[in-house]
A and B are shown apart, each in its own frame.
Chain A
Amino acid sequence: MATLYIDNKPYEVQAGKNLLETCLTLGLDLPYFCWHPAMGSVGACRQCAIKVFKDGDDKKGRLVMSCMEPVIDNQRISIKDEEAHEFRGHITEWLMTNHPHDCAVCDEGGSCHLQDMTVMTGHAYRRFQYKKRTHQNQYLGPFINHEMNRCIQCYRCVRFYKDYAGGNDLDVFASKGNVYFGRHEEGVLESEFSGNLTEVCPTGVFTDKTLKQHYTRKWDLTTAPSICQHCSLGCNIIAGERYGKLRSITSRYNGQVNGYFICDRGRFGYEFVNAPGRIRKPLINGQEADKEKVMQALAATLQRGNVIGIGSPRASLQSNFALKTLVGEANFFHGVSDKAHNLSALILRILREGSARTPTMMEVEKADVVFVLGEDLTNTAPMLALAVRQSALQQPLQEVEKLNIPLWNDAAARELMQDQKGPIFIVTTHATKLDDIATESLKMSPSEIAQLGFAVANLLDSTAPADQHLTPYVKNIAQKIADSLSAAKHPVVISGSSCGSEDIIKAAANISWALTKKNTQTGIVLTVPECNSLGLAMIGGRALSSALEAGKAGRAETVIILENDVYRHGVKSEVDEFLKTCAQVVVLDHTITETMHKASVAIPAGSFAESDGVLINNEGRAQRFFQVYEGHTEIQESWRWLLAMSMAMGNSTMMPWKNFDDITRAMVEAELLLKGVDQITPSADFRINGQRVPREPHRYSGRTAILANINVSEPKPPEDTDSPLSYTMEGMRGEPPSTMIPFFWSPGWNSVQSINKYQQEVGGALRGGDPGIRLFEPVEQGSVNYFTTVSEKFVSKEGQLLIVPLYHIFGSEELSARSLSVEQRVPEGYIMVSAKDAIALNVHEKQTLSFDIKGQQYQLPVRLSDTMPSGVAGLPNGLKGLPYVELPAWGILNRA
Chain B
Amino acid sequence: MEKPLTQHIRADKRPLTLKEYEQVGGYEAVRKVLKEMDPKSVTTLVKESNLRGRGGAGFGTGMKWSFVPLNAPKPKYLVANADEMEPGTFKDRILLESTPHQLIEGMIVAAFAIQADIAYVYLRWAYKTAGHAITRAIEEAKSAGYLGKNILGSGFDLEIHLHTGTGRYMCGEETALLNSLEGKRATPRAKPPFPQVSGLFGRPTIVNNVETFCCLPHIINNGPDWFKQLSRTGDAGTKIYGVSGKVKRPGAWELPMGVTMRELIEEHAGGMQDGLKFRGALPGGASTDFLVEQHLDVKMDYTDVAAAGSRLGTGTLIILDDHTCPVGFVRNLEHFFAQESCGFCTPCREGLPWVEKILTSIDAGEGREEDLQLLNFHTKYLGPGNTFCALAPGAMEPLQSALKYFREDFERHIQDKECSYRGKEVSAVH
A-side interface residues toward B, CB under 8 Å? 42-47, 49, 62-64, 68, 87, 90-91, 94-95, 97-98, 127-128, 130, 152-153, 155, 172, 174-179, 403, 405, 409, 411-412, 415-418
Contact = CB atoms under 8 A, between A and B. Distances in A.
A87 B351 CA distance: 13
Given A153-B343, A412-B190, A176 B387 contact: no
The interface residues of chain B, by DSSP majority, are classed as: helix
Contact of A127 (B347, B374, B388): B374
Nearest to A416: B202
Nearest to A47: B346
Interface string B184-202: 0100011011000110011
Contacts of A152: 346
Given A68-B190, A415-B202, A43 B347 contact: no
B398 to A, nearest CB: 18
B354 A128 contact: yes
A160 to B, nearest CB: 17
Given A63-B385, A403-B193, A405-B198, A91 B346 contact: yes
Give me the 10 closest cross-chain CB pairs, A-B, nearest first: A94-B350, A179-B343, A416-B202, A177-B353, A176-B341, A130-B357, A175-B343, A416-B198, A176-B343, A46-B346
Contact of A95 (B201, B339, B346): B346
B347 A172 contact: no
Interface residues of B, number: 37
A77 B250 CA distance: 51
A91 B351 CA distance: 9
Contacts of B192: 405, 412
Contact of B190 (A43, A128, A172, A176): A43
Contacts of A46: 345-347, 386-388
A90 B190 contact: no
Contacts of A95: 346, 350
Interface in B145-168: 168
Contact of B377 (A43, A62, A90): A90
Contacts of B357: 130
B193 A405 contact: yes
20 contacts: A44-B346, A46-B346, A87-B386, A91-B346, A91-B347, A94-B354, A127-B370, A127-B374, A128-B354, A153-B346, A172-B185, A175-B168, A175-B185, A175-B343, A176-B338, A176-B339, A176-B340, A412-B189, A415-B189, A416-B198
B353 A176 contact: yes
Nearest to A178: B343
A175 B341 contact: yes
B385 A62 contact: yes
Nearest to B186: A175
B342 interface: yes
Given A46-B346, A176-B339, A411-B190, 10 more contacts: A63-B385, A87-B386, A95-B350, A130-B354, A153-B349, A403-B193, A409-B190, A411-B189, A412-B189, A417-B202
B226 interface: no
A178 B385 CA distance: 23
Contacts of B349: 94, 153, 176-177, 179
A786 B357 CA distance: 75
A461 to B, nearest CB: 35
Interface string B110-153: 00000000000000000000000000000000000000000000
B341 A49 contact: no
Interface in B64-97: none
Contact of A94 (B202, B351, B361): B351
Nearest to A46: B346
B405 interface: no
A405 B374 CA distance: 38
A130 B349 CA distance: 15
B344 interface: yes
Contacts of B341: 175-177
A91 B386 CA distance: 10
B219 interface: no
Q: Which of B197, B340, B350, B353 gathers most chain A CB within 10 Å?
A: B350
A62 B197 CA distance: 26
Interface string B333-367: 00000111111111101111110010001000000
Contacts, number: 103
Contacts of B338: 176-177
B381 interface: yes
A62 B386 CA distance: 10
Contacts of A175: 168, 170, 185, 341-343
Contacts of B354: 94, 97, 128, 130
Contacts of B202: 415-418
A742 B361 CA distance: 52
A177 B350 contact: yes
Contacts of A63: 385-386
A412 B198 contact: yes
Contacts of A417: 202
A849 B53 CA distance: 70
A44 B338 CA distance: 17
B131 to A, nearest CB: 24
Contacts of A172: 185
A43 B345 contact: yes
A152 B170 CA distance: 21
B190 A403 contact: no
Contacts of A128: 354
B343 A177 contact: yes
A153 B344 CA distance: 8
A415 B198 contact: yes
A417 B350 CA distance: 31
A63 B384 CA distance: 10
Contacts of A176: 338-343, 349, 352-353
A411 B178 CA distance: 13
Contacts of A68: 190
Interface in B297-353: 338-347, 349-353
Contacts of A153: 343, 346, 349
A44 B345 contact: yes
Given A415-B189, A418-B201, A45 B343 contact: no
Interface string B241-271: 0000000000000000000000000000000
Contacts of A174: 343
A418 B275 CA distance: 59
A175 B349 CA distance: 9
A189 B185 CA distance: 22
B182 to A, nearest CB: 9
A578 B350 CA distance: 70
B346 A403 contact: no
Contacts of B385: 62-64
A97 B387 CA distance: 17
A626 to B, nearest CB: 41
Nearest to A90: B381
A98 B374 contact: no
Nearest to A152: B346
A63 B385 CA distance: 7
A42 B179 CA distance: 15
Q: Which of B201, B202, B377 gathers most chain A CB within 10 Å?
A: B202
Contacts of B370: 127
Q: Which of B189, B338, B343, B351 gathers most chain A CB within 10 Å?
A: B343
Contacts of B353: 97, 176-177
A16 to B, nearest CB: 15
B278 to A, nearest CB: 33
A416 B193 CA distance: 9
Contacts of A412: 189-190, 192-193, 198
Contacts of B352: 176-177
Nearest to A174: B343
A753 to B, nearest CB: 18
Contacts of A97: 350, 353-354
A45 B346 CA distance: 5
A838 B346 CA distance: 55
Contacts of A179: 343, 349
Nearest to A64: B385
